[in-house]
Amino acid sequence: MSKDFDPEKFCGIEEYGTSVPGVGGTVKTKPEDFVVEEVPLDLGEGGSFLLCKLKKENMTTFEALERLSSELRVSRKRIGYAGLKDKRACTTQFVTLEGLEEEDIQLDNGRLGVEAVKKVPRPLRTGDLKENSFHITIRDIDISPKNCKERLENLREEINEGVPNYYGMQRFGGQRPVTYLVGRELLGRNYRKAVETYLFKTFPTEKEEFRKARKKLEKERNYEKALDYFPRPLTYERDLIRSITETGPSSQEDWIEVFRTFPKNLRRLFVHAYQSYVFNRALSHFFKQENVTNFPGKVPGYGTDLSSSDFDGYLKKALSEDNVSLNDFRFKETDGLSSEGTVRAALMKPGLEIEKVEELEGKTAAQVSFSLKPGRYATVVVRELTKKPS
């Protein structure tokens, strides 16, 4: 990783909400170090949708849903889910499968498993969950167990009073935080640039093999040849390349059609990621001040009223710097991209508990647990504990 590139700062995450030094260490050394369990809403009983428990390890929610669709031979459109879960983790979440019966569910390959729960009257939709429960292990801590426990207890007191409710790196693509860059191009109606940004943009946090493929394609622009060398794990990129090869885009309408190659949920995520980036920047600005109390921060969209508050003023400034207007969030030419905006609490209070601190393989390890409401990010809490990108 380049020492000059800070992924968190790149995504607007700049300040901490705690004053106590972090314990350092590493997180997600193993998938089982980051355990997430989803608590869904009660959807009732009976109906044509099969509610299932989905367990995955070391894969994104999108990857898991695509594999589920393929393995069970069910259209991706018939799979509902409540939220995205971290990739490098052991996660349990819920999905609904339209039109399937319990005997149709046969999938457990170690990294991905699905278990039928009951029939429900409607599909799961984004946000249909009560909370997420986290059990996290921090390894390779260089201070003694005694000092670590003392520091964690002090951090716990501050964290439970409230820390910045940033959108975490998962929102932006994790190791390749490209999503808000694509979203910014969409808001300018630059569909070709949006597609090319997704294909070409490289980051020092990405695998060298992937960076080389992107640079080669950007230089040569030979899309037919690109399928011979583009890494197979880059499935969305390969789908885009096929679409460009088949379409031969030469107009705005053609590039919109290529853009529609992305799954609908990912298309929406690009715009949401840009909104999240602007919110993070404004929140970081506020946490440069002292004694921030909780307040409803606006996430900009076409229905947002930016008044004269200091937070609103910084949102205006951030949007203006990117030449984006609130009306740009209303899309007519592409379905599903319009976003009215929302309100998000400036602080979150996770109810952090210190489960165990011990010596492990010659260094200190700590286990912590907490629960978060939908839309809150565990990596933001862990960031406060370690005081380093997680």
Give me the DSSP letters along 50-65: EEEEEEEESS-HHHHH
Mapped onto helix, strand or coil, the DSSP state of residue 136 is: strand
Verify that 75 and 137 share a domain, yes or no.
no
Q: Taking the CB of residue 353, how many other CB atoms lie within 10 A of it? A: 13
Mapped onto helix, strand or coil, the DSSP state of residue 78 is: helix
The b/e string for 10-37 (b: 16+ C-beta within 10 A; e otherwise) is bbbbbbebbebebbbbbbbeebebbbbb
Verify that 98 and 213 share a domain, yes or no.
no
| Residue with the two structure tokens 């040569």 | 220
The reported pTM is 0.88
Alpha carbon distance 364, 171 (integer Å): 30
| Residue with the two structure tokens 């393995």 | 71
Q: Which two tokens stand for residue 310?
A: 């200091």
Span 234-285, pLDDT tens digits:
999 999 999 999 999 999 999 999 999 998 889 999 999 999 999 999 999 9
Alpha carbon distance 317, 294 (integer Å): 22
Span 351-365, pLDDT tens digits:
999 999 999 889 999
Catalytic-labelled residue, pool 86, 104, 128, 142: 86
Note whether residue 317 is domain-resident: no
Whether residue 330 contacts residue 338, with contact meaning beta carbons closer than 8 Å, is answered with yes
How far from chain centre, in Å, is Cα 331?
23
Note whether residue 63 is domain-resident: yes
pLDDT of residue 390: 46
User: Domain span at residue 136?
Assistant: 7-31+131-165+348-386
Which of the four pLDDT bands, split at 50, 70 and 90, describes residue 2?
low
Verify that 116 and 149 share a domain, yes or no.
no
Verify that 233 and 368 share a domain, yes or no.
no
N-to-C CA span, the chain:
14
Let me know if 239 is a catalytic residue.
no
| Residue with the two structure tokens 């440069």 | 288
Among 127, 150, 175, identify where a domain stops: 127
- Fill in the DSSP letter of residue 4: T
For residue 64, is pLDDT > 70?
yes
Task: Give strand pairing partners of 343.
Answer: 298
Alpha carbon distance 162, 376 (integer Å): 12
Verify that 48 and 84 share a domain, yes or no.
yes
Alpha carbon distance 299, 341 (integer Å): 5
Note whether residue 153 is domain-resident: yes
Which of the four pLDDT bands, split at 50, 70 and 90, describes residue 290?
low
Say which amino acid occupies 290.
E
Closest of 174, 130, 163 to residue 34, by C-alpha:
174
Verify that 241 and 376 share a domain, yes or no.
no
pLDDT of residue 1: 45
CATH of the domain at 248: 1.10.1510.30
CATH of the domain at 137: 3.30.2350.20
